[in-house]
A = this chain, B = another copy of it.
């Protein structure tokens, strides 16, 4: 029942593409992650996914139609359910996400998951 500093939360781990759950809101998680390089093409069939960039720049490659959305610090974007997407951050970024508890980082369908991507529903802080 204390406030949580996002900076402190992000300072508590080093793993990339491995979200930590900072708090819950009903049956949703607020997660933060450090990212650099490329994630994997994946889709959440049944849920939207919200991104806020806390630092750095995040690219979201999207399909149908194929395009890339670039988010700078302080920018937000919601990937609609059913939209294949691949996050990437060539120079690194720190991000906050909202999504239902239990949502897998690699979605319901995905390309082969590279070793540097953590397939998880989020870790506790």
Q: Chain A residues in contact with chain B, CB under 8 A?
A: 1-7, 22-26, 28, 30, 47-50, 52, 54, 69-72, 74-78, 81, 96, 98-100
Contacts and interface: CB of A to CB of B under 8 A. Distances in A.
A99 B24 CA distance: 11
Copies in the complex: 2
Contacts of A100: 26
Given A3-B77, A7-B74, A26-B100, 10 more contacts: A5-B75, A6-B76, A23-B78, A24-B78, A25-B48, A25-B78, A28-B98, A30-B76, A52-B96, A54-B74
A112 B2 CA distance: 28
Given A25-B49, A48-B25, A6 B75 contact: yes
